[in-house]
Structure 1
Amino acid sequence: MKRLANKATQLATVLVISSFMVFAIGALLPGDPTLTVLGENATVQQRAQLREELGLDDPIIVRYAHWAVNSLRGDLGTSLRTQEPVGTIIAERLPITLELTFLSVVLAVVVGIPLGVASAKWRGGALDLGIGVVGLSSLAVPYFWLGILLILFFSIRLGWVPPSGHVPFFEDPLENLRLMILPVLTVGTAMVALVMRQTRTAMLEALSQDYVRTARAKGTSEAKAVLYHALRNALNPIVTIVGLQFGALMGGAVVTETIFSMPGLGRLVVDGIFNRDLAVVQGAILTIVLCVVVINLLTDLLYSQLDPRIKL
């Protein structure tokens, strides 16, 4: 418990530092947020009065302390543009981004791990070469370009799926998953390649260990030696890359949700930046940071379950 408490303290420290950076960067951006509320025709006196009401003239450390205390209470402020509570807006948008991220991780694990195992098992062969070429090509294509190509081919040319939009899962599960196909392929393709390459590297090391040779010498089937003995001991680095990529996937959602017109957290950040709605931008990015911190903690907990020799 003591080690777990120490780990939680470290992650809390990361969250505090990250939250301050998020707030400071947003506060130091050029422009006047009061123009979002009052418009371009507002007088200097009106803008000065609103700045005083919002506390925009206070020192940044004072503003951060006020914002941090309110955030701990669940109050992330109010949108300058819509006058809605930021927490309510995020609660509506977050499930969409989490669904996109979760499905992308599932795609990466379901496709990437078997490809990595096959590539390691038949190292140096035609299959290994083909998988490697496809993986490198996937890593080389940026999100925005892949998304546009998928829309052009599957939506415009073939007409199989709509090019954009979103339907809540509990409203129409099938239509929800249908609309998620292209965004998940856009975000998850690069992660498939990363998981595949990490699995191949870990499996090559595991397959050369004495315990695998011993299992084979005892007459264990090749499938059991590869999947049970080798893959089981190669999972830790694979879990590491999946956990680390969670944050990258949520970051990639900013581009993907914009391309596919999905009303998720990434799209909220983009709209907030364009509208100079700092409360929304700061609240949304803080939520993303919090999700990444929680996932990293869960990843560390999973380590000890996969390998009893590892203790927090």
Structure 2
Amino acid sequence: MTRSPTSGPLAQALKAAAEAVNGELDRLLPPAEGPESRLLEAMRYASLDGGKRLRPFLAVQSAALFNVSPSAALRVACAVEMVHCYSLVHDDLPCMDDDDLRRGRATCHRKFDEATALLAGDGLLTRAFEVLAAEPTHSDPMVRCELVWELAHAAGSQGMVGGQMVDLLAAELAMDVPAITRLQQMKTGRLIGFACESGAVLGKAPAQARQALRNYAHDLGLAFQIADDLLDVEGDAAEVGKGVGKDAAAGKATFVSLLGVERARAQASMLAEQACRHLDPFGAKAELLRDTAKFVVERRA
């Protein structure tokens, strides 16, 4: 039986990870003095006390599989969350999705202004790599270099940023299911993939273990995006915490528009189950990661 995502071990673990990430982000992004204080205020506004913290949770849980130091795992978790938050700030800008609501409150450019929001995103992105490259993340410089390379690859033109470019053009393109799958693997899946595999990098895990986590992340990321598409069709803005119905209004092809609601929901469930099977080599240690796969297709926000 699937455990409820709002109660039980997963809910407790998500809450604990979110609190730890918030505390570490507060430390890594301290308020500043002088004219640049507005920039730090916007960076903190965009990244503290909000969101599901799914990506950092995945980083922490993958690290736990290999007995990685919790402090090292938390630094990587914060780095991936800073990159995710930067992407949200930029995605919400008028030149992109032009959104007014994010995580149940005003988007960064509405709270501040467009130029400050742009710089806040830039600041979060660069701070993420500064954190990964610093010695407290890992004593082995080769591990730190690999983390930097993997995150850059996941976030760059072959990953999240490239996927956002395709997404901007999607309404003008003939997008079938394989094309949508590739778009979402780039835009959403690569960063989730980094989060899942980062623990194996920190733990210097063997290739077989890394591949299992990579496969898990592939299916988890697609299930997550299909669930997002379903929320855009069926969700309530107040509950979801952001605007809904945007894809249909923009004429964008999505998993739901191509497959229909019921087939899309069935596909998400199948992917979640498949993701869980990739974790078999880790046994009971991966139970929270299995619960996470079920959670992403059941969530209402």
Give the TM-score normalised by structure 1: 0.30
Whose radius of gyration is greater, 1 or 2?
A: 1
Higher normalized contact order (CA 8 Å, seq sep 6+, divided by chain length): 1
Give the TM-score normalised by structure 2: 0.31
